[in-house]
Amino acid sequence: MLEVRNVSKAFGGKTILRDLSLGIGTGEIVSVLGPSGSGKTTLLNLILGLTRPDSGRILYDGEDLTDVPAERRRFNIVFQDYALFPNLDARANILYGLRNHPGASSAAEVDALVDLLGLREHLGKRIDQLSGGQRQRVALARTLVLKPRVLLLDEPLSALDGVIKESIKARIRQIAREFRLTTLIVTHDPEEALTLADRVLVLEGGGIAQYARPAELIGRPANGFVKAFILRQLEIKRENILALFQAARA
């Protein structure tokens, strides 16, 4: 269980997060949704340990991690641009963290992970020879070999083509289930957030607008912001798609 308790953070006098509290169950997938400037990235950095909160605590299974540096929290992230190391091939990227944590995964576990992510035939390739989806999976594998307790994904789908998006979504869900991995996904796309996550955290102006299951969010939006920001977008999308199918049928 990951807990964020009464966390506030300001940069240069500007409040980014205000007295924010939430809890995420182990193995749960939570997506964080909000317009730019709503504090998504800051929340991510706070949980990771890259930024310290001005006040409030961050706990994992009751252990206070607020003063534990990022590298010792055993949390990890896949950045939007993957931050792969282009001087190393796919295999070396995946195995990179094992140099510092030799016992984190056994060779068999790494093999299994490589197969799970369908990377077997790409292991010897340079990063610039990989497609966007393949890079995404290499970055995921690189993180997963270290068996993080919490996995953060920053805009994991934004750089991918439509067809690949759906398969990656499925893969993320599969991994979270298989490893019972607490997963936090930051996105700006409501469709992505609602179809991928067990629960959705909607941020607005440094506070929580709503934190609920997708169905609940659709059925009972907590306020006008959630309605305008999320439901409206989804409705337009649905109408467009329905119109397309009806036109095709006619």
Partner 1 sequence: MRRGGDGSAGGLRGPYAAFWSVAALAALFLALPVGAVAVRAFVGEGGAGLGAFAEAFRGGALPRALLNSALAAGLAAAIAAPAGFALAWAVRCSGLPRWARAAISGLTLLPMLLPTITYGFAIVYAFGRQGVVTSLLEAQPFPIYGLGGLTLGYVIYTLPTAFLLTRNALDYVDRRFGTVARLMGDTPWRAFVQATLRPMAGPIAAAFVQSFFLAFTDFGVPASVGGSFKTVAGLLYDRMLGSLPDFGVGSVIALAMLLPSVAAFFLLRWLGRAQTRYERPADDLPPPRNLPRDALAALLGLCSCLLTATVFCTVLIVPFVEAWPYATAPTLAHVRAVLGDPGLMAVCRNSLVAALGTAALCTLTAYAAALVTVRSELPAWCKDAVSAAATLSGCVPGMVLGLAFMLVFSGTPLGHSLLLIVCCNTFHFLNAPYLMMKGALEKLNARWETTGRLMGDAWAGTVLRVVTPNARRALLAVFGYCFVNAMVTVSAVIFVAGARTAVATSKIKELQFFGRFDDIFVLSLLILLVNLAATALLRLADRKAQP
Q: Which residue has the tokens 């409040």?
A: 15
CA distance 78 to 37: 20
Q: Calculate helix-pair angle for 132-144, 107-116, nearest 10 degrees.
A: 150
Closest to partner 1 by CB, 151 vs 202, is: 151
- Among 166, 188, 139, which Cα is nearest to 36's? 188
For the segment 138-177, give every residue that binds partner 1 (CB under 8 A): 142, 146
Regarding 81 and contact with partner 1 (CB under 8 A), the answer is yes
Q: From 21-29, 48-56, 176-184, 193-201, give the range in contact with partner 1 by CB under 8 A.
A: 48-56
Copy the structure tokens of residue 181.
Answer: 């991995």
Q: What residues form DSSP beta bridges with 7?
A: 20
- Closest to partner 1 by CB, 82 vs 229, is 82
Shortest distance (Å) from residue 103 CB to partner 1: 12
Query: What are residue 5's phi and psi, to 5 degrees?
Result: -120, 115
Of the candidate residues 70, 159, 212, 222, the single one contacting partner 1 (CB under 8 A) = 70
The answer to whether residue 83 forms part of the interface with partner 1 (CB under 8 A) is: yes
- Phi then psi for 74, rounded to 5 degrees? 60, 40
State the Cα–Cα distance between residues 7 and 16, nearest whole angstrom: 10
Question: Minimum distance from CB of 80 to partner 1 (Å)?
Answer: 9
Shortest spacing between CB 95 and partner 1, in angstroms: 10
**Counting contacts by CB under 8 A, is residue 77 touching partner 1?**
yes
* Footprint of partner 1 (CB under 8 A): 48-52, 67, 69-71, 75-77, 79, 81, 83, 85-88, 96-97, 99-101, 126, 128, 142, 146
